[in-house]
């Protein structure tokens, strides 16, 4: 009777991890020889683990990563300019804690987006929030938000994300308000958060896609400061898979 009351109370309090572990202890004879402190510790550990698992699931869902990618699944055998030591070093997510950026460049199909998503996924597993957006979609979001009065709110939301992935940057020259919008996004994040940018163009060609020289200088300063540049090369991985 007392056990039923305890289980009901744990359920009412939303302590579902402890509830599951408590039921296991009631059903398992192997737990009977453990001390009260040991059994209580196991209940608490289960609750903590389950809550972290839920938070991880929420962070992954909110990130909307294009690829379900992980560092462990990266192919280092195919020659494409990837150094295992560099990628494995970044997998610790120290670059996120240091508010550094990662700039990935290379031809279409070499796996820039996958690597970017894998690094973001590693950061998410380390407890950081992330958001993936293709550059054209990001600029469209900002343009729409500017028109319906949500511009500042959207900028604030982007500024809070610890890892922002901007994929397919500079496929075409930026136009209209796009350069200034990008500057607003990066200025809010500079030395506060981390940004991953992927592009088919080499970094030294980005400046000419940004239009106004003053804005271009400011954008490049914020991107290049405290950044890791990974230049990928080789044939399309899609062609090889096909």
Query: Domain of 174: which CATH number?
Result: 3.40.50.300
Residues 179 and 208 in one domain: yes
Two structure tokens written together for 53: 């698992």
The C-alpha atoms of residue 236 and residue 108 are separated, in whole angstroms, by 6
Residue 239's pLDDT is: 62
Q: Which residues contact 231 (CB under 8 A, 6 or more apart)?
A: 81, 105, 106, 202
Q: What is the mean pLDDT of each run of 10 residues along the chain (242 residues)?
A: 82 87 85 88 89 93 95 92 95 96 97 97 97 98 97 98 98 96 98 98 96 96 96 80 52
Per the structure, the count of domains in the chain is 2
Q: What pTM does this model have?
A: 0.88
Closest CA to 227 of 197, 204, 202: 197
Residues 69 and 46 in one domain: no
Residue 235's pLDDT is: 81
Residue 238's pLDDT is: 66
Residue 144's pLDDT is: 98
Domain that holds residue 9: 2-62
Residues 15 and 38 in one domain: yes
Q: How many CA atoms lie within 13 A of 103 on its CB side?
A: 20
Residues 30 and 99 in one domain: no
Residues 83 and 18 in one domain: no
DSSP collapsed to 3 states, the chain? CHHHHHHHHHHHCCCHHHHHHHHHHHHCHHHCCCCHHHHHHHHHHHHHHHHHHHHHHHHHHHHCCCCCCCHHHCCCCCCCCCCHHHHHHHCCCHHHHCCCEEEEECCCCCCHHHHHHHHHHHHHHCCCCEEEEEHHHHHHHHHHHHHHCCHHHHHHHHHHCCEEEEECCCCCCCCCCHHHHHHHHHHHHCCCCEEEEEECCCHHHCHHHCCCHHHHHHHHHHHHCCEEEEECCCCCHHHHHC
Residue 113's pLDDT is: 97
């Amino acid at each position: 009777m007392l056990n039923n009351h305890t289980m009901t109370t744990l359920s009412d309090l939303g302590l579902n991890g402890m509830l599951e572990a408590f039921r296991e202890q009631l059903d398992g004879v192997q737990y009977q020889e453990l001390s009260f402190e040991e059994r209580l510790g196991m209940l608490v550990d289960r609750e903590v683990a389950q809550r972290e698992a839920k938070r991880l699931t929420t962070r992954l869902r909110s990130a909307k990563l294009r690829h379900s990618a992980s560092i462990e699944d990266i192919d280092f055998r195919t020659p494409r300019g990837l150094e295992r030591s560099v990628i494995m070093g970044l997998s610790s997510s120290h670059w996120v804690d240091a508010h550094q950026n990662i700039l990935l460049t290379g031809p279409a199909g070499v796996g820039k987006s996958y690597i970017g998503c894998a690094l973001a996924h590693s950061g998410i597993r380390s407890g950081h929030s992330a958001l993936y957006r293709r550059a054209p979609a990001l600029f469209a979001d900002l343009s729409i938000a500017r028109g319906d009065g949500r511009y500042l709110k959207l900028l604030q939301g982007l500024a809070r994300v610890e890892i922002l992935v901007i994929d397919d940057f500079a496929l075409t020259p930026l136009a209209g308000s796009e350069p200034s919008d990008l500057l607003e996004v990066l200025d809010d994040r500079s030395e506060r958060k981390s940004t991953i940018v992927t592009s088919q163009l080499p970094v030294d060609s980005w400046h000419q896609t940004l239009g106004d020289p003053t804005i271009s200088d400011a954008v490049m300063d914020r991107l290049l400061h405290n950044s890791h540049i990974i230049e990928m090369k080789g044939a399309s991985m899609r062609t090889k898979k096909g």
